[in-house]
A and B are shown apart, each in its own frame.
Chain A
């Protein structure tokens, strides 16, 4: 069953075309990795898929509970099934606890305290619950960002470089957590990453975005071992400097 349908998507900021001729289908329950050099438009594509912006042209549609939804049609209840971790997470100037609890409070949920406690344990941050987020390290901050998205148990989780600049220990925690949510809850994961090894480790399928265009989409094995497009081969062998 196809979850996302993107057809002839084009996105323009003022004069600059950031995405063009983009077609993509995502199946419910898969892990899809989006790779590509800096400035290719990966974050922009993720924002469109999170229904945070409408595309300038074309269609970005997601089917949730049998309803086809777009930026304009999705209600707040629909939107709340999508989770996103931004490339540069913005925190509320409050405690770690308050940041992780925030989304639950928005939804008027009960039992917030024990849910947050469990979540913080899962990202190994329980000892920092009362700390202000401003005093956290980069790795801790990214784990808080992931925790506050995961705790909402989204049907679709969009991750924008969730492990950029992190050490193997933090990368391990984050990857395991993402994989566990995928396996246990059937969460669809779309992850943007600079790290092709990460894509290899996690993804069912991989897409390469190059200069605003989606060059190649293939299952992970094909993508890495038998890429069709010569530009994918060049990207993988590091000939494309980024």
Chain B
């Protein structure tokens, strides 16, 4: 849970500004960039886990950090999974706004920075949706976390990997109970966000 929250916070801090920037600027390679982001939105977790594993393993480029099988490794893997979702959904919700809004805001005397902020606020539902999607993707994900975290009891064990372990051991009741907790967390988060959305008005 802590892993997921940390990862999601990082994804939000990186993803929301990037999404806004990509949507609003006239970068030359925008098409290609967009394709990359949309691909990134559907990355198979196990593959991400594998790549992060290879980078962090003793022979890998960042092997010296000794981060493999740690909290940090799991956060990295989950950030890689969630960030494209946050960027992509933020971007498309800003692009989905009325194109006349930008000149309108400019005519009201907004600076570029104020325009960006106002547009992000107008796209708030989309941005929140992006965060929920990111959260949903990483809290329910096993492959990457298992690979790079190693499922070490008390250190890198998370809900999903615990469920896998308990199932393998034949402790179905425990596994099922954990599953219900996981579901409740998902549900509660979505519910909370819905209420927040309603409040914002």
Q: Mark B89-116, 1 if CB is under 8 A from A, else 0.
A: 0000000001011011011111100100
* A80 CA to B111 CA, complexed, in Å: 10
* A89 CA to B100 CA, complexed, in Å: 8
A83 is an interface residue with CB less than 8 A from chain B: yes
Whether the Cβ atoms of B122 and A106 lie closer than 8 Å is no
Q: Inside 8 A of A186's CB, which chain B residues have their CB? A: none
Q: Which of B104, B108, B122 contacts A93 (CB 8 A)?
A: B122
Whether the Cβ atoms of A103 and B103 lie closer than 8 Å is no
Whether the Cβ atoms of B104 and A152 lie closer than 8 Å is no
Q: Inside 8 A of A148's CB, which chain B residues have their CB? A: 108
A120 is an interface residue with CB less than 8 A from chain B: no
Q: Inside 8 A of A52's CB, which chain B residues have their CB? A: 103, 106-107
* A103 CA to B104 CA, complexed, in Å: 11
Whether the Cβ atoms of B104 and A79 lie closer than 8 Å is no
Q: Which of A90, A92, A152 contacts B109 (CB 8 A)?
A: A152
Q: A92-B122, A106-B114 are in contact. Are A86 and B108 (CB under 8 A)?
A: no
Whether the Cβ atoms of A106 and B108 lie closer than 8 Å is yes
Closest to B118 in A: A92
* A170 CA to B106 CA, complexed, in Å: 27
A132 is an interface residue with CB less than 8 A from chain B: yes
Q: Inside 8 A of B107's CB, which chain A residues have their CB? A: 50, 52, 82-84, 86
* A148 CA to B109 CA, complexed, in Å: 11
Whether the Cβ atoms of B111 and A102 lie closer than 8 Å is no
Q: Inside 8 A of A89's CB, which chain B residues have their CB? A: 104
* A90 CA to B111 CA, complexed, in Å: 17
A residues contacting the other copy or chain, number (CB 8 A): 24
Interface residues in B124-150 by Cβ distance below 8 A to A read none
Q: A86-B104, A88-B100, A106-B114 are in contact. Are A132 and B201 (CB under 8 A)?
A: yes
A117 is an interface residue with CB less than 8 A from chain B: no
Closest to B104 in A: A90
Whether the Cβ atoms of A47 and B103 lie closer than 8 Å is yes
Q: Distance in Å from the Cβ of B18 to the closest Cβ of chain A?
A: 23
A76 is an interface residue with CB less than 8 A from chain B: yes
Q: Distance in Å from the Cβ of A62 to the closest Cβ of chain B?
A: 14
* A106 CA to B118 CA, complexed, in Å: 10
Known: A149-B108, A152-B108. 12 other contacts (CB 8 A): A52-B103, A79-B106, A88-B100, A90-B100, A90-B101, A92-B101, A92-B118, A92-B121, A93-B122, A106-B109, A132-B201, A148-B108
Spell out A's residues near B (CB within 8 Å): 47, 50, 52, 76, 79-80, 82-84, 86, 88-90, 92-94, 102-103, 106-107, 132, 148-149, 152
Spell out B's residues near A (CB within 8 Å): 98, 100-101, 103-104, 106-111, 114, 118, 121-122, 201
